[in-house]
Structure 1
Amino acid sequence: MSDVFPRRNLGPGEQWGRHVEDRVGGIENDRSALRMDLDGLNRATAASLQTLSEQLDEIEALYNAIPKISQHTTESENFGLLTSGWTQIAGMSIAVPAGAKNAQVTVVTSAYLISSSSTSSGHVTGTLLCNSAFSPAIPSAAGINSDDQWYASLSPTYGWTVDVRSIGSINLGFQVIPAASGAWSAGTGSYAALSAFVVFTG
């Protein structure tokens, strides 16, 4: 808005004053128009940035909704078992990807354990562990091999649905416990394998 000047009283300089007043008024009008253009540009920029932010949020939500499949395998061999209590014979830790909320975890295992004694029972019991959740305990098959050694074999499989929003990794384990009379020293050729299939969703 142009300023309102007092009435001119310049005498002989009236024509010059009128010209100056017109020039000043034109400059102020141009400045007002520029300010309005700038205000409009700022509003348009803010609206564009808001729209862009919303679009980025939508893209992130779509990306997080895409299932992310992860597959891992680990093996171990020549291990021994504790004389009492559970022994973890295979395990792994799987990182949770950013944006994941849930995970469908399936664990497939196999183990062939060779006893260090030919006179003790070859039976063991196995279980699978996902963070702090255990699968049902599964007894092994047992027998005596061609070297007159007791062996135990088992292949437990189990699955969990895990809320991963507040954790950074999924920790998996394959644990076994021998029968009371079992003897399972290291170096006998025992081996175990654990495979995990994980589907993360947002």
Structure 2
Amino acid sequence: MPLRIGIILGSTRPGRRGDQIASWVLDTAHAHGGADYELIDLADHRLGNLDEGGNPNLQQYEHPHTRDWSELIDGFDGFVFLVPEYNHSFPGALKNALDYVYREWNDKAAGIVSYGGWAAGVRAAEALRLVLAELQVATVRAQPTISTHPSFHTGAFVPQEGLDTAVRGMLDQVIAWSGALRGVRETKAEAGAAA
């Protein structure tokens, strides 16, 4: 079965630039191959502020939107997070979406593409890595960055030279780690079934 990689657009902000970047990254991923890719736009899921009373580790979800989110995230082997930098960190909407579920993230790989002003979102990516580590998501080293100043100088997204190479390199790492971690999840599932 081919690997499934979710490309998560981490901003729900009106007028965001991330949708143009997400479209380009998805096209680049499809051209690269190696996995099945799907765009996950947080704005389409309308999770709202975390409203589950229980511990997400127990997976006892009360609300249909949480069960839908759980099923969606559980179906992927790895992720690419497209993350803008807001005030030296990543958006609250993404943190909220991460917090809704727990086990569904475990033992999967992720790459991060950050974007922002002259710092290109690197502080947001580093903050995100800490949260993903707690969710038992292994983040790859390759981290493409996009400075929005030159990339949107015409108003539309124009990838800077070398960005496609950086994204393909990150995808190679995400694919390799996602394949390895699928084996980890399968071994755990077999051990759980035998217990």
* Band the TM-score falls in, shorter-chain normalisation: under 0.3
Structure that is richer in helix per residue: 2
Query: Which structure exhibits the higher relative contact order, with contacts defined as CA atoms closer than 8 Å and separated by 6 or more residues?
Result: 1
Question: Which protein is bigger by CA-based radius of gyration?
Answer: 1
